[in-house]
Chain A
Amino acid sequence: MIICLISGFLGSGKTTLMIDLGKRLGKKGKRVAIIVNEVGEVGVDGALIDAYGLNSVELTEGCICCSLSGSLQNTLRVIANDYKADIIFIEPTGIALPSKINGIIRTSMVEHESKLGICVVDAFRAPRIYQEAELFFRRQIEDVDLVAVNKMELVSPEQLAEVEELVGRLNPKAIVLKMSAKEDRGVEAIEVRLVDQMGGRA
Chain B
Amino acid sequence: MSEDSKELAHAGSFGMEVHFHDNHCKRSSFVKVLTGMIFDIANQLEAKGGMIGHVKLIAQTDAGFVKMSVVDIRLGVETVDELKGEAGEKGSIKLMAVVLGLEDGTVEETVGEALTHLGGCMDYHLAGHDCDHDH
Contacts and interface: CB of A to CB of B under 8 A. Distances in A.
B46 interface: no
Contacts, number: 101
**A interface majority secondary structure:** loop
B13 A40 contact: yes
A197 B82 CA distance: 33
Contacts of A135: 8
Contacts of B72: 11, 124-125
Closest 3 A/B residue pairs (Cβ):
A42-B15, A40-B15, A11-B71
Contacts of A122: 71
A136 B98 CA distance: 15
B58 to A, nearest CB: 5
B58 A47 contact: yes
B14 interface: yes
Given A43-B94, A95-B11, 8 more contacts: A10-B53, A41-B15, A43-B96, A51-B65, A65-B5, A95-B6, A132-B100, A182-B78
Interface of B: 1, 3-6, 8-9, 11, 13-17, 51-54, 56-58, 60, 65, 67, 69, 71-72, 75, 78, 82, 94-96, 98, 100
Nearest to B100: A133
A85 to B, nearest CB: 24
A122 B94 CA distance: 24
A95 B95 CA distance: 18
Contacts of B3: 66, 97, 100
B15 A95 contact: no
Contact of A69 (B1, B57, B67, B100): B1
* Residue from B1, B13, B100 having most chain A Cβ neighbours under 10 A: B1
A38 interface: yes
**B interface majority secondary structure:** strand
6 contacts: A47-B58, A47-B65, A93-B98, A125-B71, A133-B100, A135-B8
Interface of A: 9-11, 38-45, 47-48, 51, 60, 63, 65-67, 69, 93-97, 100, 122, 124-125, 128, 132-133, 135-136, 154, 182
A94 B13 CA distance: 12
A157 to B, nearest CB: 19
B52 A11 contact: yes
A18 to B, nearest CB: 14
A74 B133 CA distance: 37
